[in-house]
């Protein structure tokens, strides 16, 4: 079968299964198997596929049709122009989180400083910031050893030398350390949030998604604890759910942060809230 015909067939299969981007998913999976990019696929679509790569493609297609995220099937996802290795042990980096990186870069007005990324996962936020601010030192922490190993591997593969990663359950391994910037994309979904039963989220680690109660427990705890780890004039920046902006702003204000604000993502939804510890 020709490659372009195989893509059409795979697209129909994924569309019937409810994939939100069936054509893209089919092309990405096929390119992954063939170790080619999509430009090559468009150019050489009239070529035929051999038995072994087709069998592998069909196996991946079946998993995608059952809902498995493309990022877990290919083992990678692009974020901030960086190709990051992914794992079912971590969340999949998403475009909305690039708003958190943008906000942190906007507060990195000094040529050098230190940034802490809490719950780093793949290292996406830490590595994106580090590559844009080579004069800064970046520390990413995660309580999961697998996530720390993955983030370190991503840093090494991308040759980003000003970011390091270590195990820590939030601030537990960081006694006495202070930072100019602290960023985090913590769990913020309630246990009964309907999004947990939709799309890729069904396959991602719930420990990185779900917070107790109304989804605000980790956000509120981090807001209080971060004050002890921020330098005078330092900023805390938190990603949160689109309906949590008001509650996060209130928590920041109650904890004594100043210049509290919320920023919207590309879809116009409240996504990142921040506050400053004035010296």
Residue written as token pair 């800064």: 136
Average pLDDT over residues 20-35: 96
Containing H/E element for 264? strand 258-264
pTM of the model: 0.94
pLDDT tens string 222-266: 999 999 999 999 999 999 999 999 999 999 999 999 999 999 998
CATH architecture of 77-276: 3-Layer(aba) Sandwich (3.40)
Rounded Cα distance between 83 and 147, Å, is 16
Rounded Cα distance between 75 and 36, Å, is 15
Tokens of 193: 């949030």
pLDDT given for residue 176 in this prediction: 95
pLDDT tens string 46-77: 999 999 999 999 999 999 999 999 999 999 99
CA distances to 11, 25, 95 from 21, rounded to whole Å, are 9, 6, 15
How many angstroms separate the first and last alpha carbons of the chain?
A: 67
Rounded Cα distance between 144 and 18, Å, is 32
Q: State whether the Cα torsion 188-192-195-196 is positive or negative.
A: positive
Domain ranges of the chain: 3-67, 77-276
pLDDT tens string 101-126: 999 999 999 999 999 999 999 999 99
The three state secondary structure string of 60-72 is HHHHHHCCCCHHH
Angle at which helices 51-65 and 22-34 cross, to 10°: 140
Rounded Cα distance between 188 and 136, Å, is 28
Contact present, 85 and 32 (Cβ < 8 Å):
no
pLDDT tens string 151-196: 999 999 999 999 999 999 999 999 999 999 999 999 999 999 998 9
Four-point Cα dihedral 186, 124, 179, 232, nearest 10:
-70
Q: 202: left (phi > 0), else alpha (psi -120 to 50), else beta?
A: alpha
pLDDT given for residue 17 in this prediction: 85
- The Cβ of residue 250 has, within 10 Å, a number of other Cβ atoms equal to 13
Does CATH place domain 3-67 in 3.40.630.30? no
């Amino acid at each position: 079968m020709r490659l372009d015909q195989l893509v059409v067939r795979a697209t129909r299969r994924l569309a019937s299964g409810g994939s939100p981007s069936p054509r893209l998913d089919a092309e990405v999976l096929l390119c992954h198997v063939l170790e080619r990019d999509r430009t090559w696929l468009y150019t050489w679509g009239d070529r035929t596929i051999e038995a072994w790569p087709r069998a592998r493609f069909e196996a991946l297609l079946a998993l995608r049709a059952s809902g498995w995220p493309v990022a877990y099937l290919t083992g990678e996802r692009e974020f901030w122009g960086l190709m990051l290795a992914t794992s079912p042990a971590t969340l999949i980096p998403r475009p909305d989180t690039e708003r958190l990186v943008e906000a942190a870069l906007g507060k990195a007005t000094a040529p050098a400083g230190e940034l802490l990324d809490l719950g780093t996962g793949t290292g996406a936020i830490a590595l994106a910031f580090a590559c844009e601010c080579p004069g800064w030192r970046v520390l990413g922490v995660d309580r999961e050893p697998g996530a720390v190993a993955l983030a370190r591997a991503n840093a090494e593969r991308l040759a980003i030398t000003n970011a390091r990663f270590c195990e820590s359950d939030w601030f537990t391994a960081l006694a006495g350390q202070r930072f100019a910037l602290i960023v985090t994309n913590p769990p913020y979904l309630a246990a009964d949030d309907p999004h947990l039963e939709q799309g890729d989220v069904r396959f991602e680690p719930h420990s990185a998604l779900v917070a107790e109660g109304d989804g605000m427990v980790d956000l509120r705890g981090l807001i209080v604890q971060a004050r002890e780890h921020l330098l005078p004039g330092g900023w805390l920046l938190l990603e949160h759910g689109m309906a949590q902006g008001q509650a996060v702003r209130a928590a920041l204000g109650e904890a004594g942060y100043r210049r509290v604000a919320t920023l919207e993502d590309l879809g116009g939804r409240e996504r990142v809230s921040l506050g400053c510890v004035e010296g």
